[in-house]
Amino acid sequence: MTTIDPRPAPVRAVRVPRPRAGSPDPRDAELDRLRKENAALLAQERTRADELDVATRMLAARAQTMTSVIDAVTEQSIIGTDRDGVIRVWNPGAEKMLGLPRSEVVRQRSIVDFHLAEELDAQAETCGSAPGLAALVHAAHAHGSDVRDWTYVAADGQQRTVSVAVTPRTDDRGVHAGWNFVGTDMTEARATERMKDQFVSLISHELRTPLTSILGYLELVLEDEQPLTDEQRKYLTTVERNADRLLRLVGDLLFTAQVDAGRFSLEPHDVDLAGVVRAAEETARVAAATAGVRLVVDLPASGLVVPGDAVRLGQACDNLVSNAVKFTPAGGTVTLSLRSAWAAADGTVSAEGRPGASPVAQLAVTDTGMGIPTGEQGKLFTRFFRSSTAQRAAVPGVGLGLAITKAITTAHGGTLDLVSAEGAGTTFTLTLPLAAA
């Protein structure tokens, strides 16, 4: 049997050698080192705390600035979502447009709740994406941004046509975090456009029918075997000329309505531009002679053939030439020149061919007329716009010719450029791709 001694085992004392008199104590050195390290760590901690405090205040100030800017926008809706479409940002403009306060939307509703489901479904079929949010952001995801009209549905069921700019949103690390939707209410503007187009189309049709009848009967009267006095023939010729002018105006109105509605079509064939230019010169010859304006035609020895609609190209050329004659005072000159050239991928055109350039035809119509103010040149191709020089000189017109010419040129894959200075004349240059050899 083993006996356990209940007494604790004796503890042996360990002697720590004391430094000899006059020698440095190593414990003091170690304590000093630790004190220094502790002081350095405390200083580093204070520095990091200060830096963190500054960064926090900067982030808070930045967030406050962004919030104040977004909240200051009251006429546009600004909606931010996460990657799943759940709304995280809802500005006063969104509250006003869609009729819900921020507290009832943020983190509770999805952006697709305010869109027409059938519109999103149709977009999904068009772009081949999933319905819902994927269809809404498909183009922005592919191209970095997207702007188009959508139908927003407000809390009371009212529908609004809204031009929505969609862009992706990233976090501080550059990781995709969601989407931004900036909407501008275009309901009234689009309704006005539709009413204007309907009005133009209606009036054009209502005018064309009686004008065609008037011109038909005028032609019968003028060709009748019964003799007319010179005075009667003069009167009827004046009526016919003005009826023709009205008919052209009606045609222009119908054409612009077709362009705006996307119903403008071409009947393409190979067209010799030289023949188009000669026909335009012949058409403008009487008006130019009456106005005392000299017409000069400069054509290449061989024709330049382009793919296009001969009637529409003739209309575009006629518009440029008639405009040049109208804006050139007596004694001036209008020059029609046709040349072949080369167009590079960046859009620059030169007389010499370069690698990668495509052959084009350039028709330039130059006048020595009153010119166009620099500040107005950007608006010149806008429907119904007339320059201040035209208004001061009381030049007749309604401002449709150049808008039509621009639309025809664009439909043919070409460009229409102008160089002008007030009082120094104008040059319009129509550039079209040549037909393949």
Query: How far from each other are the two terminal CA atoms of the chain, in whole angstroms?
Result: 121
pLDDT per residue of the chain (437 residues) written in tens, 0 to 9: 445 555 655 545 545 455 565 666 777 777 888 888 888 888 888 888 878 877 777 766 666 666 666 666 678 999 999 999 999 999 999 999 999 999 999 999 999 999 999 999 999 998 888 889 999 999 999 999 999 999 999 999 999 999 999 999 888 788 999 999 999 999 988 888 778 777 777 776 777 778 888 888 888 888 877 788 888 888 888 888 888 878 878 887 777 777 776 667 788 889 999 999 999 999 899 889 999 999 999 999 887 899 999 989 999 999 999 989 988 999 999 999 999 888 887 778 887 777 878 889 999 999 998 888 888 888 888 877 777 777 776 677 667 888 889 989 988 989 999 998 888 889 999 999 987 76
Query: What is d(CA 432, CA 409) in angstroms, rounded to the nearest whole number?
Result: 8
- For each of the domains in the chain, give its residue range(s) and CATH number, in order of start: 70-185 (3.30.450.20), 190-260 (1.10.287), 269-433 (3.30.565.10)
Contacts of range 237-246, beta carbons closer than 8 Å, 24 or more positions apart:
239/214, 240/215, 243/211, 243/214, 243/215, 243/218, 244/215, 246/207, 246/211
Tokens of 234: 């003069």
DSSP bridge pairs for 271: 306
The SS3 call for residue 313 is helix
Query: What is d(CA 155, CA 176) in angstroms, rounded to the nearest whole number?
Result: 30
Write out the DSSP string of 81-123: EETT-BEEEE-HHHHHHH---GGGTTTT-BGGGGB-HHHHHHH
Tokens of 210: 């009686």
The SS3 call for residue 341 is strand
DSSP bridge pairs for 432: 361
The number of CA neighbours under 13 Å toward the Cβ of 83 is 5
CA 335 to chain centre: 34
The SS3 call for residue 298 is strand
Query: What is d(CA 314, CA 404) in angstroms, rounded to the nearest whole number?
Result: 12
Residue count of the chain: 437
The SS3 call for residue 181 is strand
SS (H, E, C) 356-379: CCEEEEEEEEEECCCCCCHHHHHH
Residue 2: DSSP 8-state: P
Whole-structure pTM value: 0.55
